[in-house]
Amino acid sequence: MTKEISDSGWNFDNSYARLPKTFFANQKPTPVGSPQSIIFNEPLATSLGLNKHALQSEDGTAIFAGNKIPEGASPLAQAYAGHQFGHFTMLGDGRAILLGEQITPTGQRFDIQLKGPGRTPYSRGGDGRAALGPMLREYIISESMHALGIPTTRSLAVVKTGESIIRETELPGAILTRVAASHLRVGTFQYAAGGGTKEELRELADYAIKRHYPEIEDEENKYLSFLQEVIKRQALLISKWQLVGFIHGVMNTDNMTISGETIDYGPCAFMDTYDPATVFSSIDRQGRYAYGNQPNIGVWNLARLAESLLMLIHENQEQAVTLAQEKLSEFAGLFKKNFLEGMRAKLGLFNEEKEDASLVESLLNIMEKHSADYTNTFRALTTDSTRELDLNGIPDFTEWYKQWEARRDRQKESKDSSTQLMRNSNPGVIPRNHRVEEALEAAVDRGDYSVMERLLNVLSNPYSYSPEQAEYCSLPAPTPQPYQTFCGT
């Protein structure tokens, strides 16, 4: 297949559109009045094989606004289902349209999706639109997650639509261009298992395997291996969230990817003070998606994937259940192993000792008991500046510190290389809620994007320990109400 790559570098394939019709609806974006480019991710564009100059033009803005369909794209809305806060619902892209898959110069395949481009057959009562604040928030946090080394969807551009949308108040409308390894979700499989034929489910599974796990294509029970691989990726992903204090906030099964990327930055936020019960989302009243509960929800969601795959795993459903349960039971161990490995690196430890898990646990307990800031505690250990911590002088902490020093001394690596390992593992800066809010307020209320640009710049190098980081490490001033996030729909 040879085809022209456009001047902008678009090189679309549309493999998802070749799946059975039940999985999508062809749908074009609804054009908007007067689109205006707000932010464009040059390095990401280049890595996708796109021409950053050609796209920073009226033509590019028209594409990111949904006013022009790029050559080779085949816009569609994807169908999926999902458990939202434990309740099963039929969903689908109600405010997102997949333009197609960009094939990069190195042959990688990425979904290019517009978020907020107007109604689709899955919009139910919604308007299919998105507001500027939440779209910029997704841009900031997803790009920060990428810089932190955490698998995630990326953000290529945000444009203002020039139209208002109505929420509790009138808000400026915007569209985010999201880039993802794919948008296949646990919920896509729930949709297939619930409403489709066995053959359609098989086609979806084969498609996902080909796209994300080609190494298992020839395995004897590839659908069981598929479940196992998704479990592995999610155990790794969620351990990475825990290690940086990221709280997703809405881990519904439709917001869990098959690829193992973080998706859907709605009410997510980073934890300041260490407390496993931390919840930011205003709608998560039971703490279902609290920081400390994320691994449990991870495996709960994966059990929904397993249920959806039972038909393919074994003809005998009882045996299928046994096989799937065996794989699910591995999640906890995988998660723990990844988490402990990550914690060892955060503490500058190269080798393994039996007591490491309790050394980590003691530190976390001390942080919880004394309401210590999670990121800054690890930062202070890294920069040898624990004197500046509130924990300084607290006997528990002094005792712990001695144990940690002795533990570090027992390894053969030098203190310098241990510190280097810590610097590579403990972000000096995270997108703190008050900093993100400050940037969004300047952008949305005053049209001043400089605050956001400075923030993005610092967040793009979280492990640099550069002097510019210092001012972004300070904690928010105490507020009468705890910080809250909203779904941003």
Which residues would be at the binding site for Mg ion (CB under 5 A)? 255, 264
Helix 132-147 vs helix 450-459: angle between axes, to the nearest 10 degrees? 20
Partner that binds at residue 225, options Mg ion, ligand AMP, none, CB closer than 5 to 8 Å by kind = none
Task: Classify strands 170-180 and 12-13 as parallel, antiparallel or unpaired.
Answer: unpaired
Closest approach, Cβ 22 to ligand AMP, in A, equals 16
Residue closer to ligand AMP (CB basis): 49 or 92: 92
**Two tokens at 77?**
């809305």
Closest approach, Cβ 98 to ligand AMP, in A, equals 12
Q: Binding pattern to ligand AMP, positions 107-126, x when CB under 6 A? A: ----------------x--x
Question: Element (H or E) spanning 362, and its range?
Answer: helix 356-369
8 A C-beta contact, residue 361 and residue 336: no
Closest approach, Cβ 56 to ligand AMP, in A, equals 28
Closest approach, Cβ 126 to ligand AMP, in A, equals 2
d(CA 228, CA 223): 9
Residue closer to ligand AMP (CB basis): 149 or 162: 162
Phi and psi angles of residue 335, each rounded to the nearest 5 degrees, phi first: -60, -50
Q: Binding pattern to ligand AMP, positions 126-145, x when CB under 6 A? A: xxxx----------------
Q: Which of 375, 382, 431, 344 is nearest to 145 (CA)?
A: 431
Site for ligand AMP in 285-324 (CB under 6 A): none
Residue closer to Mg ion (CB basis): 255 or 418: 255
Which residue has 């955490």 as its token pair? 150
Size of the site for ligand AMP (CB under 6 A): 17
Q: Which of 111, 254, 284, 373 is catalytic?
A: 254
Buried b (16+ CB within 10 A) or exposed e, 305-324: bbbbbbbbbbeeeeebeebb
* Residue 235 within binding range of ligand AMP, rule CB under 6 A: no
d(CA 487, CA 470): 30
Nearest residue to the partner Mg ion, using Cβ: 264
Partner that binds at residue 92, options Mg ion, ligand AMP, none, CB closer than 5 to 8 Å by kind = ligand AMP
Closest approach, Cβ 255 to ligand AMP, in A, equals 5
d(CA 199, CA 278): 43
Partner that binds at residue 129, options Mg ion, ligand AMP, none, CB closer than 5 to 8 Å by kind = ligand AMP
A 10 A CB-CB count for 166 gives 11
* Residue 91 within binding range of ligand AMP, rule CB under 6 A: yes
Residue closer to Mg ion (CB basis): 122 or 404: 122
CA-only gyration radius of the chain, Å: 23
Partner that binds at residue 93, options Mg ion, ligand AMP, none, CB closer than 5 to 8 Å by kind = ligand AMP
Residue closer to Mg ion (CB basis): 35 or 134: 134
Site for ligand AMP in 240-279 (CB under 6 A): 250, 254-255, 264, 266
Partner that binds at residue 261, options ligand AMP, Mg ion, none, CB closer than 5 to 8 Å by kind = none
Closest approach, Cβ 7 to ligand AMP, in A, equals 32
Residue closer to ligand AMP (CB basis): 166 or 470: 166
Closest approach, Cβ 255 to Mg ion, in A, equals 5
Burial class of residue 482, CB neighbours in 10 A (0-12, 13-18, 19+): exposed
Q: Which of 233, 248, 243 is nearest to 340 (CA)?
A: 243
Query: In which region does residue 41 sit, left (phi positive, over 0), alpha (psi from -120 to 50) or beta (all else)?
Result: beta
Q: Which of 92, 133, 172, 348 binds ligand AMP (CB under 6 A)?
A: 92
Partner that binds at residue 348, options Mg ion, ligand AMP, none, CB closer than 5 to 8 Å by kind = none
Looking at the DSSP bridge assignments, the partners of residue 131 are: 173
Cα 143-154-328 angle, rounded to 5 deg: 105
Cα 105-461-133 angle, rounded to 5 deg: 85
* Residue 183 within binding range of ligand AMP, rule CB under 6 A: no
d(CA 478, CA 373): 13
- Does 254 participate in catalysis according to the annotation? yes
A 10 A CB-CB count for 106 gives 7
Q: Coil, strand or helix: which one is 73? A: coil
Closest approach, Cβ 84 to Mg ion, in A, equals 9
8 A C-beta contact, residue 150 and residue 240: yes
Partner that binds at residue 95, options Mg ion, ligand AMP, none, CB closer than 5 to 8 Å by kind = ligand AMP
Q: Binding pattern to ligand AMP, positions 469-488, x when CB under 6 A? A: ------------------x-
Could you list the active site residues?
254
Tell me which residues touch ligand AMP (CB under 6 A). Answer: 91-95, 123, 126-129, 250, 254-255, 264, 266, 487, 489
